Chains A and B, each alone.
Chain A
Amino acid sequence: MTGKRFKTIAFDGLLKNNPTLRLVLGTCPTLALSTAAFNGIGMGLAVTFILICSNVLISLLRKTIPNAVRIPAFVIIIATFVTIVRMVLDKFIPSLYDSMGVYLPLIVVNCIILGRAESFASKNKVLDSACDGLFTGLGFTCALTLIGAVREILGAGAIFGYTLWDFKIEFFTSSAGAFFVYGLAIAIFNAIYSKVENVRRSKTFDLRIMPKPDVSAPDNLDPEESEKAQASTTADVAAKEVK
């Protein structure tokens, strides 16, 4: 995998196609588990692990699995990894396992994981698929942690369980608060992203249309000849465009 390809996959997963803030996928766990930043990190990392593992395995088996049964095969693979994560969390981090509740087994039907398996892992090489899983998962984790942190600070006056102050607005811990913060996060993220993208596009556009200085032209060229030369160049370009 080239460096450019790696950068594209990373940029896509984290920003351009961020599953939570750009594609609005995985909304159910986002709304339910973003009551605290720690829950967001826990859910995000669980999804990241499952994404990487399932993407790698699906990519390895992409030529073996017949097209007709690819979806059931993907679901079996994803369900296996989800069950492994459940067992590990139940054994070693029971508090996180309890706080994630029913949303942990529901990762099986998480559209982010099935979506990446179907659209990326089943068509790309193993390393590319692993990177895609990693960065898509990290994009999801960052978004969930950010939303969780905002809700925890405003709704419980705490961050990662540490109390900051007594001031709290209960609305932010409720379901309505979840929708409000989520909507706000999408709006802010997309506004910033569009602005940055517009600036980048305009820069690229400027570079494209700016005429390059003709270094081969002699300095003592007659102004009339210079005009003629410029006209002939423009005519050449127009002719090429017509062709």
Chain B
Amino acid sequence: MTVKQFFKSQAFKCIIVLLVIALIAGGLLAILNDVLYVTDEERTMRAIEKVYGKEMQYEELSYSAEELTNDYGTISKVYLLENGNYMVQSTGGGGYKGGTITVWTVLAYKDGAFTGIEKVVLESYEKQTLMSKLTYEVYSAHNDEITGDVYFTTGSDGIKVVISGATYSTNALNNAVDCALYFARNTLSAKEA
């Protein structure tokens, strides 16, 4: 096939049509992405609203990479809320096929002392296991047991929490909450003291 024949062929027409459609679609999406972009501040305020049902003032805190990483997972954001509690976004591993779960955990503090977990909410259902049975009280119901060096688990070597019936998903969820708990015990409490 010569170059001239190629330019006149059906294959060339197919390539051009697909290319034009993809370019127009891409351009349109780029413009809309710019217009409809949701900022980090907006997302944080949404998370606070999801937890408390209203907007609340907050201050973003920064910590070193070592302080934000532990055996249970990784902390990505830490906020000090106007009511004195800390809201922490943590990601726990150990889910099905190495899956992770990201949650917002509200760590309750009274007079500078850690008093327990107030609420735990999923950051988003997107890209993580659907766990509609996670309610605010699942973890805070065990606040009396959160003493010493005890963490949440699906086994018997800690505070047993099983939610969805799927052990792997609960493992990742427990790890995410334990990650926040570890951070509260070892970093935030030291700072508050």
User: What is the total of A-B residue contacts with beta carbons within 8 Å?
Assistant: 56
Interface string of A46-89 (1 = CB under 8 A from B): 00000000000000010011101100110011011001100110
Q: Is A32 an interface residue (CB 8 A)?
A: yes
Q: Is A197 an interface residue (CB 8 A)?
A: no
Q: Is B82 an interface residue (CB 8 A)?
A: no
In the complex the two chains form, what is the Cα distance from A203 to B13 in whole Å? 53
B92-114 interface (Cβ within 8 A of A): none
Interface string of A72-109 (1 = CB under 8 A from B): 11001101100110011011001000111110000000
Partner of A77, one of B21, B36, B124: B21
Q: Is A35 an interface residue (CB 8 A)?
A: yes
Q: Are B17 and A65 in contact (CB under 8 A)?
A: yes
Q: Are A90 and B36 in contact (CB under 8 A)?
A: yes
In the complex the two chains form, what is the Cα distance from A69 to B29 in whole Å? 22
In the complex the two chains form, what is the Cα distance from A90 to B10 in whole Å? 40
Check A98/B29 contact, CB under 8 A, given A64-B17, A66-B17, A69-B14.
no
Interface string of B123-147 (1 = CB under 8 A from A): 0111100101000000000000000
B80 to chain A, nearest CB (A): 23
B138 to chain A, nearest CB (A): 15
In the complex the two chains form, what is the Cα distance from A101 to B28 in whole Å? 23
Q: Is B2 an interface residue (CB 8 A)?
A: no
Provide the residues of chain B in CB contact with A98, threshold 8 Å: 124-126
A-B residue pairs in contact (CB < 8 Å), sample of 20: A32-B130, A61-B21, A64-B17, A65-B17, A66-B13, A66-B14, A73-B17, A76-B18, A76-B22, A80-B25, A80-B29, A84-B29, A88-B36, A91-B36, A98-B125, A100-B125, A101-B124, A101-B125, A102-B125, A102-B130
In the complex, the chain B residue whose C-beta lies closest to that of A95 is B50
Q: Is B38 an interface residue (CB 8 A)?
A: yes
Check A83/B29 contact, CB under 8 A, given A66-B13, A76-B22, A90-B36.
yes
Provide the residues of chain B in CB contact with A35, threshold 8 Å: 132
Tell me the interface secondary structure of chain B in the complex: helix
Q: Is B46 an interface residue (CB 8 A)?
A: yes
Provide the residues of chain A in CB contact with B32, threshold 8 Å: 84, 87
Q: Is B64 an interface residue (CB 8 A)?
A: no
In the complex, the chain B residue whose C-beta lies closest to that of A80 is B25
Check A87/B33 contact, CB under 8 A, given A66-B17, A69-B17.
yes
A78 to chain B, nearest CB (A): 10
Interface size class of A (residues with CB under 8 A): 20 to 34
Check A101/B18 contact, CB under 8 A, given A66-B13, A80-B29.
no
Provide the residues of chain A in CB contact with B29, threshold 8 Å: 80, 83-84
B19-67 interface (Cβ within 8 A of A): 21-22, 25, 28-29, 32-33, 36, 38, 46
Residues of A within 8 A of B (CB): 32, 35, 61, 64-66, 68-69, 72-73, 76-77, 79-80, 83-84, 87-88, 90-91, 94, 98-102, 173
Q: Are A80 and B125 in contact (CB under 8 A)?
A: no
Partner of B18, one of A72, A88, A99: A72
Provide the residues of chain A in CB contact with B38, threshold 8 Å: 90-91
- List 8 additional contacts besides A32-B130, A66-B10, A101-B126; criterion CB under 8 Å: A61-B21, A68-B10, A84-B32, A87-B32, A90-B36, A90-B38, A91-B38, A99-B125
In the complex, the chain B residue whose C-beta lies closest to that of A91 is B36
A59 to chain B, nearest CB (A): 15
Partner of B25, one of A77, A87, A90: A77
Q: Which of B13, B25, B126, B127 has the most chain A CB atoms closer than 10 A to its own CB?
A: B126
Q: Are A73 and B125 in contact (CB under 8 A)?
A: no
Top 5 A-B pairs, shortest CB-CB distance: A101-B125, A80-B25, A87-B36, A69-B14, A91-B36
In the complex the two chains form, what is the Cα distance from A91 to B35 in whole Å? 10
Q: Are A76 and B21 in contact (CB under 8 A)?
A: yes
Provide the residues of chain A in CB contact with B22, threshold 8 Å: 76
